[in-house]
Structure 1
Amino acid sequence: MDDCEPTVISMKVYPEIEAQQFQHRWRIDDFSLLLHDMIESDVFCGPTSGTKWYMRLFPRGDRDKDRGYVSVYLYIKESILENVFCWFSVAIENQLTHQLEHKMDCELHAFRLSHKNLWTTESGLVHGWGFYRLIGHTQLMHSVDGLLLNDSLIIFCQMTVIRNDVILNADSFTAANQLSLLAKQERLYETGKHTDCILVCPDGQVSAYRCQLAAQSRVFNSMFANDSVEAKTGRVIIKDISQDVMSELCRYSRCGKVIGLKKVADQLLMAADKYEMEDLKEVCAASMRRTMTKANVCSRLILADRHHVPSLKNAAIQFFTANCKSIDELDDYQLLLKSHHQLVAEIFAAMFSLITK
């Protein structure tokens, strides 16, 4: 039986649109005994808006002209919203390598429960979308490389569902399509295909795209525009930034997001400052403001001052004033007193201003 609880992979937050990505793994046993039937999965729950979904697979194709192929569709069964906007991918899991193969991506679509907006196929009216030709039937049945193992087939569906019911007009639908575009950009980045430069870090290399780096960074733009060694060779030597941090800088330049931002925010902010990526600096600063504590406020104040981030610096000083009675308990406070006299003066000036109001 399929599990009704979705596996949530990540939160994706972009301007105007909030979406959540999750996955469903559908195992079909005794596949060869079901070749003449339409196979339907158990119902599984989505992470938002009270949605419930299911899948259908046609081993010999849904339409007459697709009889030589396996067809697969995703349907919505229940929702408290009239429209659920989603884009998704379907793939076959190789049970030997555990890699996803024959992956197909579906554009952003509205899944509707109202009968006036149903999609029509030869099988009738449905509440979903899918793929007529996921894989050739003969190719699947004669597979010896793990796609069909012990007469079991595993279909893997990954979905990104718009969390907020905001896709109600042309402008917001355009915003959702922009989110879809960014998701595609990220998938391409993850594959490493078509990259045209290499960033050589102390602990590894990162493959990247010159045009995206140049668009986001004035430093990279100047580097690749001039008759430099980097422009000629496509290799950029980076001596002071780790591979993980540089990888997220490149991800941001490609698709406007960062994975694991809380863990790398301080290092990423320094990298963004070095390469003059002001938008990324503010993204890091916003994350650090939200997660400021007694254990990190001193180090973040020093970082903000050194790299010229007023929003983070002001937030740190406000944290000091809010915790003035326990200021001696703050980590690294003694270091601040000894080595950063100007910052200490600014902190006490803020406290004095608060007291005299």
Structure 2
Amino acid sequence: MAHFPYYRPRRMRTNEAMRSLVRENELQVTDLMYPIFVVAGENIKEEISSLPGTYHFSVDRVLEVVQEAWDLGIKGIILFGLPSYKDDFGSSAWDENEPVQTAVRLIKDKFPELVVATDVCLCQYTEHGHCGQLTEDGEVLNDATLSLLEKVAVSHAQAGADIVAPSDMMDGRVLAIRHALDQHYFENVAIMAYSAKYASAYYGPFRAAVSSAPKQGDRKSYQMDPANSLEALRETELDIQEGADIIMVKPALAYLDIVAQMKAQFNRPVAVYNVSGEYAMIKAAAKMGLVDEEKITLETLLSMKRAGAKIIITYHALDVARWLQNK
């Protein structure tokens, strides 16, 4: 009987050129969407203490950072606003003279090919800091909030937004916004739904940046339990049925299993939000000399791409674009 030598599978040991030929995933500048914070006032560019390297811009200076992003090859931004006034209903969120609407008009006039998305929510526009209208007992009124979100989305579309991104997590908000947009002849404005938005501890630096922390209670009644994954799939399926064009997971890093499941199950582009806490931890560790900021950031964002994300919303976008240009 013939004997054949034992074959032991071997790990491929190659140089960088070979590695690049067989690489399964690659992070690209066109994967990135850059969040920009616009505020009321003039001649403002102030670093956000909770998000080092990120700034508040007044509308008259926002084109500076948009030009920088465009020159680096970034094709999409998402705007968050800090209003000039707040009330119990968040009416500044749909005021055409407030920072987001004014900035969208200015940006689209100068950069018509840039994809401009806008955050549709009420938390930073309300006195109480919640994402919807409240009862006297402090409970969020889901259905009453929908009509307010419709106003916000339509005002953004009227200003020129390409994508509206409802982050409030009210039930039925995608359907309500889709109907409102269509009724105002904005059929081509896309909806990027925060389909799986978890009640997360990773949001702290963002809430400080936009002064949106709730004055009482928390958001667990309308944001998802971090323990749940099947719920994320159910919520995403509902958003798609209601008209979502892009589906999102937020936060990103601790929920890559959800990203992978959504990518496998749904025929929609998947976005992730590399949120403020994830960003701030890398910045803090790099400042202390504990990690190589470039290497760990690129590895982190690559993990999101590998899990299935097509769009990565990240405060690292400008730095990542520069690093990728130099590779």
- TM-score, normalised to structure 1's length? 0.28
Structure with the bigger RCO (C-alpha within 8 Å, sep 6+) is 2
More strand by percentage: 1
